[in-house]
Structure 1
């Protein structure tokens, strides 16, 4: 019950969103059945977004602990607005505008007046989105495992060996490029170039954001006298959220072609991800459950491979979400077992107090 207060705004947004969805259903059909149909779709989309993005919340919390309290608040306010409205509304419009060579206003009109054509254009762009997002997320996951300073290993036989290769420059990039070429051979000949180019853009985007983040945060370090994530970490999290949202946005079109219904459903889910992020940060859950973060990055790695696979075969979004949830659940259970056998290590400062102490030194 103590955790419920973290979800207060999520519950409010859920109530407002579902009521708005019901109104849209009634306004469009004029029937009780139509009203409940749209209401149900909004609820399903919210659950889909939560299941696909729980690992996103864990990674967000991990990055937020490196940020100053000011930038934490900025991400949890402005960042969530960008995530909900930018990625769930503007991003699909930009994709359609580029693919159809029309302006954003025309794309909005297309979404309202010709939702079937709007959906078709979005689905045609799925290959590029899957290759771009899959590559970016794969680099995010591999950057966690290819770390020579990483001391805690969940699947020790794998992670201990992988961390040894971290000292080899470009090891994770080589892994991604090899996997990219393997899947490129499986894609239809007419789409090989599109897949490869989109994947390369995903790789370049990750490297650019990573370098930019280091430069910006180094500048911030020089100003405040301590290495604290600021604008660089903020930009990293925004691009990361964008990559996570690709799958949910595309998958939503399997349930409805109405842009506004998709926005409501995914927006509700995004609010729960925000609430989970805040709870993980303030309660120090990542420190309490030592393998939870590992599970999240394994789930991200699996999601990235699935996004590559979607360029060849259809993978149900429900399976994608459940798979990630299972991996994280196993990691949580492993953490609980570890804590039971090592109770002395559980005692220690929480993430919240650690963050506050670090912030207090400035």
Structure 2
């Protein structure tokens, strides 16, 4: 199962490294590999959240995530998105933005592609940080029987009883973030953060409109998948419901990639190397990991992984918002995510052993 799922990722990564070597020699190959590892290390929490959504989609829409979705991740977020940001902030047309990108100027050179993208970081961080913060808060504010960090999650669930609590907290955090940004950027940060809020509630609202969680329309071809998911009481979404899930998944995936895309320019300003490392290597492996989690049923076997992923999301959201005013190394972001996911995984193993031990008959029961 492992090689079946990850085999094509290894193959594409090898091709990407070869292309990088042909393009820029040994240095380009090393930079490409570093960016790929950076993206994967930053995206464990992304894969867990993606997997939980993907397992609710039909086989057709899962394939869409792996085909059309990967094009959006590689071409859209790793190539077109930086070009769009630079074009808008510097008032450049697409051709001029591409020309500027190929000049490979340093992030410290005013007017360079990397410099302009770095200058736009406060707006990008505000949008992505607020979007991910809403995702974290809505998960923690839900009432659920299973808790991982109970001392923290129970009070959060209590706060969640207040109608509109996530929106209130999100707006307060946004205002606090805007007060910390350098003079002249306050309005830009506020507008970007509000757009992040609007995007989150719009996508979630459309999901509710099409009844994403309880869509009754299913494909006959998905009978086997439905039988497998019946133990969880969840049907596979298709049609409009699956399409809305797909959009929601792509927006979440894009939000997770903001820090990696911006951070990549601290390593190299070459857009080709960034596309090969972050896109072809990093994004492909994240998708393979997502599919592996779905096919193996890992999220159901290790039930705290959801909690760990959302705590990592909360940490990433706060880090993004803090980077509006201070520099934080991407390695720290990646390590925090791995720490939460790893701790949740270990806690899940301990819980599973405890549950198994409790279900076994005692010595007295066996003797009787």
TM-score if structure 2 supplies the norm length?
0.87
Distance 2:113 2:270 in 1: 9
Q: Once the 2 structures are TM-superposed, how far is the Cα of residue 203 of structure 1 from its aligned partner?
A: 0.7
Q: Once the 2 structures are TM-superposed, how far is the Cα of residue 140 of structure 1 from its aligned partner?
A: 1.0
Look up the match of 1:245: 257
Look up the match of 1:17: 16
Pick which of 165-174 and 261-270 moved more.
165-174
Q: Is the 8 A contact 1:138 1:301 kept in 2?
A: yes
Q: Is the 8 A contact 1:339 1:346 kept in 2?
A: no
1:8 matched to 2:3: no
Runs of 4+ in 1 over 6 A off after TM superposition: 344-347
Identify which of 304, 310, 318 aligns with 2:331. Answer: 318
1:262 matched to 2:274: yes
Identify which of 195, 205, 225 aligns with 1:201. Answer: 195
User: What's the secondary structure of 1:234's corresponding residue?
Assistant: helix
Q: Once the 2 structures are TM-superposed, how far is the Cα of residue 195 of structure 1 from its aligned partner?
A: 1.4
Q: Once the 2 structures are TM-superposed, how far is the Cα of residue 345 of structure 1 from its aligned partner?
A: 8.9
Distance 1:239 1:321 in 2: 20
Distance 2:15 2:21 in 1: 10
Distance 1:237 1:320 in 2: 21
1:46 matched to 2:36: yes
Residue-by-residue CA offset, 1:113-159 (whole Å, 9 max, x unaligned): 354411111111001001110000111111111112x2211011221
User: What's the secondary structure of 1:169's corresponding residue?
Assistant: coil
Distance 1:262 1:233 in 2: 28
* Residues matched between the structures, number: 336
Distance 1:57 1:41 in 2: 23
Distance 1:151 1:95 in 2: 43
Q: Is the 8 A contact 2:65 2:246 kept in 1?
A: yes
- Calculate the aligned-residue CA RMSD, in Å: 2.1
Look up the match of 1:357: none
Q: Once the 2 structures are TM-superposed, how far is the Cα of residue 3 of structure 1 from its aligned partner?
A: 2.1
Look up the match of 2:134: 139
TM-score if structure 1 supplies the norm length?
0.88
Identify which of 291, 301, 307 aligns with 2:320. Answer: 307
